[in-house]
Amino acid sequence: MKYDFSFISVTARGASAQKAKELFANEIEMRAGYRPLEGGEPCVELVEDKNISNKDSFAIEQDGTHITVKAQGIRGLIYGYSYFLRKCVFSNGKITLIQDISGSYSPEMKIRGHQCGYRSCPNTYDAWGKEEYFRFYLDIMAFGCNTCEHIPTEGFDPNNPLMKYDPFDVAVWGSELADELDMDVSCWYPNDDKQTEEEALASRREAFEKIPRINAVFPPGGDPGEMDGDDFIKRCIKISRVLKETKPDAQMWPSAQAPHGNISWAEDFLEEITKLPDEIDGVIMGPNHAMPLAELRRKVPSKYPIRLYPDITHNVRCEYPVHFDRDDWHYALATTLSRESVNPRPTEFRMLHRLTRPYLVGSVSYSEGVNDDVNKAVWSNMDYFGEVPLYETLCDYARFFIWQADPKKIADGILGLERNWEGDPAENPHIENTLETFEKELEKAPSLLENWRFVLCLFRARCDALVRRRRVFELELIEDAKICARKGEYGKAHEILKTDFDKDYYSLRSSLTTLADRLFEQIGIQLDVENYHAQRAERGATLDTIDLPVTDRQWLLSRYEMAENMPDGERGAFLGRVFNRNKVSKGEYYFSLAEHGFGVLGARQEGEFYIDYQGDRLEVNDGTIPMCILKAFDHFRFVCNIGGFEPDTDYKLRVTYKKMKNVEMFNGFYVKANGKDIYRGKFFGGECDGRFSAEMLPDNFTNAVYDLPASVFENGCLSLEIGEEHVGVILSEFMIYKA
């Protein structure tokens, strides 16, 4: 049943209800174009009720078009009226409540929040002032958040023209603003390795005295930080004592994030935490974690609850890369959209929430701006409501934030943006359907261009379409060029590869800059370095990465440049090798992580590996690197099972490695074939194929070739293992060919 709440009246009982009434009236006016009336029906009554069980809960009583929202204070009242708004459709001044919303509501998770640190590296927050932060608090509270997390330690960046305030001052007034809404304040406060213990305690004492509200302090164990695990906990204990001098109810939550290369960190951390110090109130699980979450929960005493620090803002080179369960985001998308692009991943983060929540009391996400805005709402709503249907959350998001549009179309479009990232974009026509969804909504309601959240979605949809169209176009050129190359017509192949895009492509590309201008003015998101002052390309500067190579076209053209000064006979042979770079004969095998993914290897990689992605790095993906080596597997052990080799035949194994620093001291690198050592010793061993490196690899990669005698094969089958137990290996491709 639907209820007409047009020309709504709002009343309030209690001091906090009066404040909530003003905030609620502002929300109504923003959406309906008029402020609520004083008295009469339909009516929403806000009531301060101390009988509500806790300040995170609220109750709604509905009798037709009369609603009463009850809560202990302003926090719960904001939750209550926001829930009403999430279930309302606004159209030309008319307000329609789509369902009865009676009930008592309490959160599943105790801690529910997001980081919003004012520092130089975020893609958005450094452009904000008090108005934007206050609006941000209200927006995340609309989906049940009770915590914001500030970073009070970093000073001005002289190279950042967007920052108008000292970051510490933002932590101070940001805390004051949060307190107005009874929102908890957490401080991400890393240890400075250059400070002595006395200096550290003195600086924190001063900070804790100046910041008006602090509910929790979060010192990361690493990233940044280089203290040993036991010293880290001992320092946190002393900081906790200083904290409680001025904030007796504030809590100390150190994170089990280990510094790189400190092998004993986890053991040292656990040694101190199992002494059960009362100064520690809980433990945080975050990126670069010392151990997996399930292991952390088993080993940390139950006295200490665990809070998650989920990275919902990054896509590659991060804790939860796109498709984190299989790590198969296509390189064309990873290259052009990079580490911090607009990234709605609702179904993926629902899965992550389900995986982690049995171990947790809540979370405060790692965020660098509004690129993850949808992810914030999805995660927070599950923190509050648990198994809420995902589609309901997305429709709530649309009704609350993008009220000018059809909420179901927006929800469909958001899900579409996530599906756009499935597989090769050239093979995903759904990308065009997603773009059409947003373009049609814009056509029906041009005012949507004034809504930054809609513009953000439209920007991403157009980016995806641009990448797809460019890849389809270039793959066709490459296929035509290969046909010519097979006939020795290398000049004709060269001309084909130089073919330019059409006007429609350039028009779509130009529209991205127009939307980026609008978004910068609306919300301060920095979509390039030159014009909008992003810190660097991987910090959300999509306009700086969107034109990077997504096929081998630029690499092939760069090989033509290499061939210019070669004698005619050598030039043809060289270009033949280039066009057939990865070609193998029957009974041979070629594997590229970027082109083929893990699924073809016949074995699962054990442990927590890392993909050192190269494609979105402007200095690397400049036309001198083939697409097949963009993904570099970084782990202690690489395994695969392959068949189809010919009997009584000797083979060679050529592996492409990313060059590694400071590995000369290690001599435990090995290559095994069916359990037998093919090589063991210094990195990388074998024999480097110099011509292959010179012709086919950029400077930061190398190769090694190993003998695979016929005796190591078992009925044409091979189990291959490459590893090193201390620093691991970084590899991108390998070829097994007849000797």
Query: How far does the chain reach from its first CA to its final CA, in angstroms?
Result: 75
> What would the pLDDT profile of 174-191 be if each residue is shown by its tens digit?
999 999 999 999 999 998
Contacts of 727 (CB under 8 A, 6+ apart): 660, 663, 666
**CATH 3.30.379.10, domain 3-105, yes or no:** yes
CA–CA separation, 256 vs 268, rounded Å? 11
Measured in residues, the chain has a length of 739
Q: What SS3 string covers 532-553?
A: CCCCCCCCCCHHHHCCCCCCCH
Q: Give every residue of the chain whose pLDDT is below 50, as ranges.
A: none
Residue 724: which of 685, 686, 667, 675 has the closest Cα? Answer: 667
Domain ranges of the chain: 3-105, 111-415, 418-569, 582-738
pLDDT of 154: 67
Structure tokens at 263: 């092998």
SS3 626: coil
Q: What SS3 string covers 351-364?
A: HHHHHHHHHCCEEE
> What would the pLDDT profile of 700-733 be if each residue is shown by its tens digit?
999 999 999 999 999 999 999 999 999 999 999 9
The CATH class for the domain spanning 111-415 reads alpha beta
Place of tokens 């400075």: 192
SS3 10: strand
Instruction: Write the DSSP string, 231-290.
Output: HHHHHHHHHHHHHHHH-TT-EE--B-BPPTT-TTHHHHHHHHHTT--TT---EEE-SSBS
Q: What SS3 string covers 350-409?
A: HHHHHHHHHHCCEEEEECCCHHHHHHHHHHHHHHHHCCCCHHHHHHHHHHHHCCCCCHHH
> What would the pLDDT profile of 15-35 be if each residue is shown by its tens digit?
999 999 999 999 999 999 999
pLDDT of 255: 97
Would you identify the CATH topology of the domain 582-738? Jelly Rolls (2.60.120)
Contact 125, 151 (CB under 8 A): no
pLDDT of 338: 97
